[in-house]
Each structure stands twice: as C-alpha cells, then as structure tokens.
C-alpha cells in the first residue's frame, strides 16, 4: 500500500473491483487503488475472515450493517454503502459459517424473519 502510515487490515471496510482496478476502502474514508487484484487479496486475507459476497466485492464482516432486500440481493455496510450480493455466494457463506460468525447468523435470522413468506 502506498500510504506511508501503517494501516491495519482491521481498518479495511471492503475491497472492490471496479473497471479492472482494485480499490481498498478504509474505515477512515481513505480509498486506495492497489496493484494486486481482488482474487489475490482474497487469498492474502483468508485468515482474517474477509468474505467474498460478490465477484467484485470482498467485505470485512465487522463493518456489515444490514440486508436491504433479498429480492434486490443487497447488503448495507456501516458506512451506508449498498453492495450487491450474489445469492449463491451468500447462501454458501451462510452455510459455511452456520456455527461461526454471529454477523452471518444475524443476517440469516434477518432474512428468515423479513423475507421468507410463511404459509397460510
């Protein structure tokens, strides 16, 4: 990363692939364009619980806020940025983390309560 200040990976809100460029969004609002692609960064950050929710978006779940709509397949980060979510990636992540992350369990509960139709 080109910034002289030491930046912690915990301060990364999300990583975005846009028009062939990879951008890191930090919690202090800094946006940095970096050389490695999103796929390479995903591998580098795999120990740190970053999750691929879309081919162009890798998120730090600590900054996840809520689901806007299962129909629109979007989530909202704490900074109010709305991101698309690929249903198959979301379903896979929910299943893979059913014992782990409270954030994804919260997301799954929210989806179940607000977007699943009950018979009758």
Predicted confidence (pLDDT) per residue in 21-80, tens digit: 999 999 999 999 999 899 999 988 878 888 888 899 999 988 988 877 656 678 889 999
pLDDT on residue 45: 86
Domains (range + CATH), the chain: 9-115 (2.40.50.1020)
Residue 118 has pLDDT above 50, yes or no: no
42 and 52 Cβ atoms separated by less than 8 Å: yes
Q: What is the mean pLDDT of the chain?
A: 76
**Which token pair is 113?**
């309560």
- With 0.75 as the threshold, say if the pTM is over it: no
C-alpha–C-alpha distance, residues 81 and 22, integer Å: 17
Residue 50 DSSP SS3: coil
Residues sharing a CB contact under 8 Å with residue 5, sequence separation 6 or more, in sequence order:
none
Distance, CA of 67 to CA of 4 (rounded, Å): 35
pLDDT score of 40: 93
């Amino acid at each position: 990363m080109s910034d002289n200040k030491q930046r912690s990976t915990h301060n990364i809100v999300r990583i975005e692939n846009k028009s062939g460029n990879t951008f890191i969004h930090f919690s202090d609002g800094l946006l940095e364009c970096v050389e490695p692609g999103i796929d390479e960064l995903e591998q580098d950050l795999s120990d740190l619980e970053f999750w691929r929710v879309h081919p162009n978006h890798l998120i730090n779940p600590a900054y996840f806020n809520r689901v806007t709509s299962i129909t629109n397949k979007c989530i909202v980060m704490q900074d109010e940025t709305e991101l698309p979510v690929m249903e198959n990636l979301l379903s896979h992540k929910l299943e893979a983390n059913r014992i782990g992350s409270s954030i994804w369990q919260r997301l799954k509960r929210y989806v179940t309560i607000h977007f699943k139709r009950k018979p009758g």
